[in-house]
Structure 1
């Protein structure tokens, strides 16, 4: 499966949330959980600025889904996210049984941009989601939206919001 026009619309929403995260002093990550029928179920952005580095949007989506969806609903839902899941979020995704993941920028791209822009490296290795959750359907990156994500990291490096 490839990234469709509809997927790109949801990815753009996730990147908008990443931009919102940056404007609130957080690292630029955003995610949206979409039901099989195309309904937005839950959305969030990174909330790590307060000192809890586990407050990733993908983790928040997994916790919300565990408490609000049936196992079938979780497996049919799609997670759209600005950046590929970190290992913590990938594991949460797998444990909860969420469905397909579509991301704008890969962990490898983000790691490279962080180094290029002199941003601190992640304290956790960027491991492909499929290595943590075998058999998961994953699509990404999206070249156009990845450039937009890179610009958010560039703005983060400049120390100001977009």
Structure 2
């Protein structure tokens, strides 16, 4: 089947981003900030997925960081370089650095750091203790795609629900 384009991403990529939003919804249901991420191999097979798990007190339990840890332990450097990370929200500085240090490949994100910052400000949320930098500022050699406009409303609604 040809790779059909959907709002600047392929059909497969839109499916992976949809799964990330599902994982973000699951995170919200467990009292965590709504973020979800999926790691695929070069052919698009899912290798690992996770959701945010910060409610236990460890604020580093971001799904993107867990993906980097898992990939370092389970994939060769060559496999990591061709892997793709899909995520509901653009990596924070911590996760961008982990991604680059582990040598993972491309990142596809549904919503951007800038969008999240705007939403948080509109909701009156406290500022992050970490600078809100785009991936390109932290890991400039990592190729990225995003944000994908089709997911903005769904992700924004999850963050609004979390803020309440």
| TM bucket normalised to smaller | over 0.9
1:112 aligned to 2:143? no
Matched residue, 2:56: 50
2: CA distance, partners of 1:47 / 1:30:
10
1:95 to 74, 92, 101: 101
Counterpart-to-counterpart distance in 2, 1:144 and 1:155: 19
Which of 60, 66, 76 is equivalent to 2:72?
A: 66
Contact 1:111 1:122 in 2 (8 A): no
| Other-structure match for 1:81 | 87
Residue 4 of structure 1 corresponds to 10
Instruction: After TM superposition, give the deviation of residue 120 of structure 1 in Å.
Output: 2.3
Unaligned runs of 5+ in 2: 1-7
RMSD: 0.9
Query: 1:90-128: per-residue Cα shift (whole Å, max 9, x none)?
Result: 000000000000000100100110111122222111111
Residue from 28, 37, 43 that aligns with 1:31: 37
4+ runs of 1 displaced by more than 6 Å?
A: none
* Residues 4-43 of structure 1: per-residue CA shift (max 9 Å, x gap): 2211110010111001000000000000001112110000
3-state SS of paired residue (1:148): helix
SS of equivalent residue, structure 1 residue 123 = coil
2:158 to 128, 152, 155: 152
TM-score, L = length of structure 2: 0.93
> TM-score by structure 1 length?
0.94
Aligned length: 157
For the residue of structure 1 that corresponds to 2:9, the secondary structure is coil
